[in-house]
Amino acid sequence: MKAVLDHVGIAVKDLPAALAFYRDALGLDVEAPEDVASQRVRAHFIPVGASSLELLEATAPDSPIAKYVDKKGPGLHHITLRVDDVHAAVEQLKARGVRMIDETPRPGAEGSTIAFVHPQATHGVLVELKQAAQRSAVSPESQVKRYSLGELELISLCDGFIRFDGGAMFGTVPKALWSKQQQPDDRNRVTLAMRPLIIRGARTMLVDAGLGDKDDAKFHDIYGVDRSRNLDRTLAEAGLKVEDVDIVLASHLHFDHAGGFTVREADGRVRPTFPRAQYIVRRGEWEDATHPHARNRASYLRDNYVPLADAGVLQLVDDDQTIMPGVKVRRTGGHTMHHQIVMIESGGKTAAFVADLMPFTSHVPDAWIMGYDLYPMDTLAAKQQFVQEAIAKQTLVFFEHDPVVAAGYIREAHGKRSVEIP
């Protein structure tokens, strides 16, 4: 089996003294602590290269860490090895007569699955095996989800999953950090969902349309495309037909957002997917997509949008404006110069579809910005402004690419942001 050192757990008795060494004397960065309520433990992770140190502090006298420290004093508590398949790993060890604490793997923190090996078998070191959270194309994550917002109904659809390079998805964030959020595959790719949004009010609007099905096998291999769930299917599950869509609104024209705008007929002709819809695109984005340069060319595929102009269904907007009652576009720039998000308001409640401003919930912290972004400092400014507003207004935020979370509320406590799923 392949195993990677995930972290080394250190039981701590006097946390300020431990921080004085690890943080202040060594100068290492300590992440915001995580409470593991079931273990009465607070964990402080310190990234060191591809692995971490984990300072473990008891939060109650009956905590296993408190008992450990009482008996043995502070010190090395456990090491954690990350494996691809913890069930297979446990079976392999048992077949070789290795004594386990956990005969069958059990749930660990953050959706992981873990099993402890008995120290008798490991020459005195407590060894934890860990399989990171699986965030792949499984059904609960791709279900149609409905939300009501005042007079409006919001329906989150799914056009399947695609895989992009993990480094590019997280920009300057070290792999040691992002790989804890999203486990990369053997080609270093992480999974993105594509979640177009239906807004039903005065009219029926679709925001973005996923990848569509015009791409060939080579493209599907490069990007690990999985469209076993797709827009056709999820639209039908929502009780809608392509004819029901009045307006298609583009956040921007990258292929994972605009691919579904058009379909290719048997004769090779490409036509708009939604026969009755007007397609609304920001003028600057249209200009960039029709005049790509070396840096953005791979993201813009003409068949996704040029046929809209040919069919006479394209409408260009120049500035932030209301598209239908309760629905406005707002330019953020950053990801592309004219990338826009959708602000939704009804009955005193707000929602927002943030597209590639924050593709995953893990992009909510300021510094988590994609390497793909053409103007990352603009992303930063737009995000800071948006997040403050979203927290203050309790905005329901739709994360277009998060493989697990369709929408949630951004919260902030002690300088750490999180997303609460309704």
- Residue 54 CB, shortest distance to Zn ion, in Å, is 33
- Residue 283 CB, shortest distance to Zn ion, in Å, is 18
Contact of 370 with 363, CB cutoff 8 Å: yes
- The tokens describing 123, both together, are 């020459």
How many whole angstroms separate alpha carbon 401 and alpha carbon 161?
9
> In this chain, which residue has its C-beta nearest to Zn ion?
254
User: Judged by CB, which is closer to Zn ion: 116, or 219?
Assistant: 219
- The tokens describing 303, both together, are 């068949």
User: Judged by CB, which is closer to Zn ion: 334, or 408?
Assistant: 334
Instruction: Report DSSP letters for 184-203, one per residue.
Output: --TTSEEEEE---EEEESSS
User: Judged by CB, which is closer to Zn ion: 194, or 410?
Assistant: 194
How many whole angstroms separate alpha carbon 126 and alpha carbon 123?
9
Q: For the beta carbon of residue 8, count every other beta carbon within 10 angstroms.
A: 17
User: Judged by CB, which is closer to Zn ion: 200, or 335?
Assistant: 335
The footprint of Zn ion (CB under 5 A) covers: 254, 256, 356
Beta bridge partners of 282: 317
- Residue 258 CB, shortest distance to Zn ion, in Å, is 9
How many whole angstroms separate alpha carbon 116 and alpha carbon 410?
34
- Residue 161 CB, shortest distance to Zn ion, in Å, is 12
- Residue 215 CB, shortest distance to Zn ion, in Å, is 15
User: Judged by CB, which is closer to Zn ion: 57, or 356?
Assistant: 356
Q: Which helix (H) or strand (E) holds 397?
A: strand 396-398
User: Judged by CB, which is closer to Zn ion: 6, or 208?
Assistant: 208
Name the amino acid, one letter, at 37: A
- Residue 256 CB, shortest distance to Zn ion, in Å, is 5
Length of the chain: 422
